Amino acid sequence: MKYFGTDGFRGVANEGLNVDHAFKIGRFVGWYYGARQNRRARVVIGKDTRRSSYMFEAALISGLVASGADAHTLHVIPTPGVSYEVIHDNFDCGIMITASHNPYTDNGIKLVNKAGFKMDEEVLEQIEDYIDGKIEVPLATGDNIGRTVDYMQGRNRYIASLIASCDFSLQGIKIGLDCANGAAGSVAKPVFDALGAETHVIAKSPNGLNINVGCGSTHIETLQSYVVANGLDLGFAYDGDADRCLAVDEKGGLIDGDLILYLCGSYLNKHGRLAKSTVVPTVMSNFGLFRAFDELGIDYVKTDVGDKNVSACMRENGFNLGGEQSGHVIFGDFAATGDGILTSLRIMEVYRSERQPLSELVRPVSLYPQQLVNVRVTDKDAAMGAPEIAAAVKAAEDYLAGDGRVLVRASGTEPLVRVLAEAPTDEQCEAANKFVLDALEPYKE
């Protein structure tokens, strides 16, 4: 696609993504779900805290109402909150304004379909054609012009749904929350407070420019230090739009998405709640996770990188748990998409039930050292299809003798081939990667 990637239309605000794009997206969506079908569309909009989100919100609303749709504004809310409201208040679609974990200078527009999932590609293709002037969309007139509805009650209902997903108390537990100066700040603390936790919050004062700056899941070291310094039981760090969560144990140790999958997958399986005894990680998940699942007799189906791929696999096969190392975890029994705050609550369910420190609960997993090397090439397709590269991968895996792996994949957006080795030691990683890196030499830029 020209504009929409795996996670929406992203770019530097008013450079790669500008207000004209936002206005046209609103115009098309309002017409497509409304006037095109001789009805009035209902669309719900949320945003994160970056300064440009307000500008894009105004442009989207203008486009929607100009096409005859009613725009319901949730204001600042996590991305999964938009998905929740689309499903539970029967909206035609949802729009989230965010660039997730990216710097404040970036922004993005994510579209959610009626089922709460990422928008269908055929609709996105039509939006791109409209942006490029290949499709015409009429303006609404008279009483067909849409309206803007302040929809704060939607955010309150989303908060209530998170609280209602828990049948346990967090009384007496000291929890740290890093809200990344982003969308989690309006939701996470009220949820944990309502459940009785002693809640300590950092990065909770957004000013439009400080989202993800030295905080959140991309700077987990801030929360790690905070948990240890304040003697907390554990902590959770979210990204800018709070669809991801990383955890920190009582010792300041990182609990990444792989360990979260283990923690929750093993717990659900133990209680007969893991659908088909299967978890859906991506090919980038750590080899140590797969070994730990093998020991428990838990199956796993690996997908390509991207929560969109994880979600599709889960839906197609009836699985209810999947996610990425980055902390984007999907609990299919509770939500249609990854939800960082929901993830932290599911971790707390395990913590309360097992009554052990987080560090003990993940102790069975021995994560392997990883070495990732990005190689810039002249033709990534030629490199990926070369028999000598396949032979080098086999030689590397023969060297590892089943105790590790080498993964080679092309970047989706850049002329890069990514080479990842996992092995019991850093030295073995380096040695395994060398087989492939040497074979890639003739293809280097």
Enclosing H/E stretch for 308 = helix 307-317
**Residue 253: CB partners within 8 Å, gap ≥ 6?**
224, 358, 359
Q: H or E segment at 292?
A: helix 287-296
Residues 262, 405: Cα–Cα separation, whole Å:
20
CA torsion, points 367, 373, 379, 382, in degrees to nearest 10?
A: -50
Helix (H) and strand (E) counts for the chain?
Answer: 15, 19
Cβ-based neighbours of 39, under 8 Å, separated by 6 or more: none
Please, which residues bridge with residue 150 across strands? 73
Q: How far apart are CA 433 and CA 262, in angstroms?
A: 27
Return the closest-CA partner of residue 235 out of 218, 217, 262.
217
In the set 53, 62, 100, 186, the catalytic residue is: 100
Residues in the chain, how many? 445
* 238 closest CA partner among 98, 84, 57, 74: 98
144 three-class SS: helix
Tokens of 220: 């987990």
Q: 40 vs 34, 46, 92, 115, 236, CA distance in Å? A: 5, 20, 10, 19, 41
Q: 296 is written with which tokens?
A: 């428990």
In the DSSP assignment, the letter for residue 329 is E
- Residue 100 annotated to the active site: yes
- Strand partners of residue 374: 418
Catalytic residues: 100
